[in-house]
Amino acid sequence: MDVNAPYTSFVAVGDSFTEGMSDLLPDGTYRGWADLLAARFTAARPGFRYANLAVRGKLIRQILDEQVDRAAAMDADVVTFVGGLNDAIRPRCDMGRVCGVLEEAVERLAPNCRQLVLMRSPGRNGPVLERVRPRMEQLFAHVDDLAARHGALVVDLYGAEVLSDVRLWDDDRLHLTPEGHRRVSEAVWQTLGGTTEYDWTGPLPRPPAPPPWFTRRKTDLRFARTHLLPWVHRRLTGRSSGDGRAPKRPELLPYDA
């Protein structure tokens, strides 16, 4: 780690991307890029404190109302804030409102930490990305503007071609695999001035030949039954995967990886 930036604490704010889905641990909990980053910090500075307030399924307004003031009150050295994509993938979304809430969150967080980190989130290649790409790019343009105005850093995951590779995305097509989270952690680490361990933008090995058409259709049907239909049902019934779920690390405490 850069000796000119002796960070001692880190708070992560956001949704499932920051909670760590789908980097599943043997005990059934999720790890994810933020935990991996905290472990890197702890190795460099024992006693490093870490809180993760992110909860899956949260919309940008919920993140603002439930997490932002709590994070600001912790007065941490580093705060990461990623949100808005759960709004963008919904059929009806007012991106002007989303950008306004994002701005309010940044204005509350930036004065209450040494370094605020924002992200241009990655997207998996496929029809969903193409449908929401204009919304994502509108959101990311606002992220860039806010960062310039408030002295925040921006980690450009969206611009890294490797993170659109379907092999770095879980079967639900919404969350990164463990290798995807490892690369995000390295990207944030390097953006904060950490010593480069490897090229997180490097390509994956050459892919094997695509499976037969029938195999691909079976995969699509399994995805629809296991992930898409439950997601649609939650939207129709006004429920969220994060309803009633508490943050996995609600307090800023020393991190024991």
Q: How many CA atoms lie within 13 A of 241 on its CB side?
A: 14
Across residues 87-107, what is the average pLDDT?
Answer: 95
- With bands split at pLDDT 50, 70 and 90, how would you rate the model's confidence at 213? confident
Please answer whether residues 7 and 78 qualify as being in contact, where contact means their C-beta atoms are separated by less than 8 angstroms: yes
Percent of the chain with pLDDT over 70: 86
Structure tokens at 72: 């600001």
Which residues of the chain does CATH 3.40.50.1110 include? 9-207
Give 240-246's long-range contacts (Cβ < 8 A, gap of 24+).
Answer: 240/56, 240/57, 240/58, 241/16, 241/56, 241/57, 242/15, 242/16, 242/55, 242/56, 242/57, 242/58, 243/57, 245/55, 245/56, 246/55
Whether residue 231 is predicted with pLDDT greater than 80 in this model: the reply is no
Structure confidence at residue 60 (pLDDT): 97
Q: How confident is the model at residue 3 (pLDDT cuts 50, 70, 90)?
A: very low
Render pLDDT for 22-65 as a digit per residue (tens, 0 to 9): 899 999 899 999 999 999 999 999 999 999 999 999 999 999 99
| Calpha distance 53→250 (Å, rounded) | 6
The Cα 229–Cα 225 span in angstroms is 6
pLDDT over 50 at 4, yes or no: no
Q: Is-contact 40 185, C-beta < 8 A?
A: yes
Taking Cα atoms as reference points, which of 60, 72, 160 lies closest to residue 113? 72
Check whether 194 has a pLDDT greater than 90: yes
Kindly state the average pLDDT of the residues 195-219: 81
Q: Which of 1-15, 208-222, 225-239 has the lowest mean pLDDT?
A: 225-239
Q: Which of 89-93, 110-114, 164-168, 210-214 has the lowest mean pLDDT?
A: 210-214
Considering the chain, what percentage of its residues have pLDDT values greater than 90?
72
| CA 76 remoteness from chain centre | 19
With a cut of 60, say whether residue 233 has pLDDT above it: no
Q: Taking residues 114-133, what's their average pLDDT?
A: 90
Confidence label for 218 from pLDDT (cuts 50, 70 and 90): low
Cα(87)–Cα(31) distance, integer angstroms: 24
Single-letter code of the amino acid located at 234: R
pLDDT band at residue 229, thresholds of 50, 70 and 90? low
Measured at the alpha carbon of residue 84, what is the angle toward residues 196 and 177, in degrees to the nearest 5? 45
Whole-model pTM: value is 0.89
- Compute CA distances 96 → 39, 99, 110, whole Å: 36, 5, 21
Please give the residue that has the higher pLDDT: either 255 or 216: 255
What value does the mean pLDDT of the chain take? 90
Q: Judge whether 31 and 25 are in contact, CB under 8 Å.
A: yes
d(CA 12, CA 180): 18
The conformation of residue 47, written as its DSSP 8-state character, comes to: T
The yes-or-no verdict on residue 228 having pLDDT over 70 is no
For position 232, what pLDDT does the model report?
58
Q: What is the pLDDT of residues 143-177, one digit of tens each?
A: 999 999 999 999 999 999 999 999 999 888 789 99
Q: How far is residue 22's CA from residue 20's CA, in Å, rounded to a whole number? A: 6
Whether domain 9-207 has CATH 3.40.50.1110: the reply is yes
